[in-house]
Structure 1
């Protein structure tokens, strides 16, 4: 597969770099309170890909995991705290990669929104 067949990204400090094989099944914004707290933002934004296609190119030892629920696992960089991945133990063949860590920026469309009832009132109205 050519380099164009991958998403690439890194954490804020550059200690963790990754590539993930395309295709993206969907991209989403999740407004659940856990994503809001972890990201410090209105939503967590993710691209969902096959977990078998994710390669940690550098810094695997810097990745820490937080079990945020009985099935949700959130991975982040120990060095800078950047949120990197979300995965469910109920769907081990998939992984969600944070859109904000991608280089170049994600060019696809966000097609799903989760937990919209938690969407903050302070967001601009469409």
Structure 2
């Protein structure tokens, strides 16, 4: 089980399954939303994600045609993004919001055409 929260603790969640995919997204929208070179998300079935505190404090931004990005209305922590119409049964959760140790065997690199020039590979 993965558990997580926003920076201020107003929102808490639990996830009862393992992710079906994990990715570093280098798209410009993720860079701007996270204020970082990329965003790391793990994708889960929406039914496996339960908000245990503060679900009403999630703010929503429709960043593109049908992508909804959700974040804490108090501290601004990025929590999730999902497609409102195309794939409503899936949700991607920001791995940085997990409170437990998280590991995965594979991380896909998405939208590398937008990868920042100053990010060096290790």
Q: Runs in 1 of length 4+ with deviation above 6 angstroms?
A: none
Query: Do the aligned partners of 1:21 and 1:50 also contact (CA within 8 Å) in 2?
Result: no
Q: Structure 1 residue aligned with 2:87, among 74, 91, 100?
A: 91
Q: Structure 2 residue aligned with 1:101, among 97, 103, 108?
A: 97
Which runs of 5 or more residues in structure 2 are unaligned?
A: none
Q: Structure 2 residue aligned with 1:43, among 26, 38, 56?
A: 38
User: Match of 2:62?
Assistant: 67
1:68 match: secondary structure: strand
Q: What TM-score do you get using the length of structure 2 for normalisation?
A: 0.94
Deviation at 1:105? 3.0
Which runs of 5 or more residues in structure 1 are unaligned?
A: 1-5
Deviation at 1:23? 2.2
- The alignment status of 1:12 with 2:10, answered yes or no, reads no
Q: What TM-score do you get using the length of structure 1 for normalisation?
A: 0.91
Counterpart Cα distance in 1 of 2:106 and 2:39 = 12
Counterpart Cα distance in 2 of 1:56 and 1:99 = 15
Query: Cα gap change, 1:45/1:58 in structure 2, threshold over 3 Å: closer, same or farther?
Result: same
Question: Cα RMSD over matched residues?
Answer: 1.0
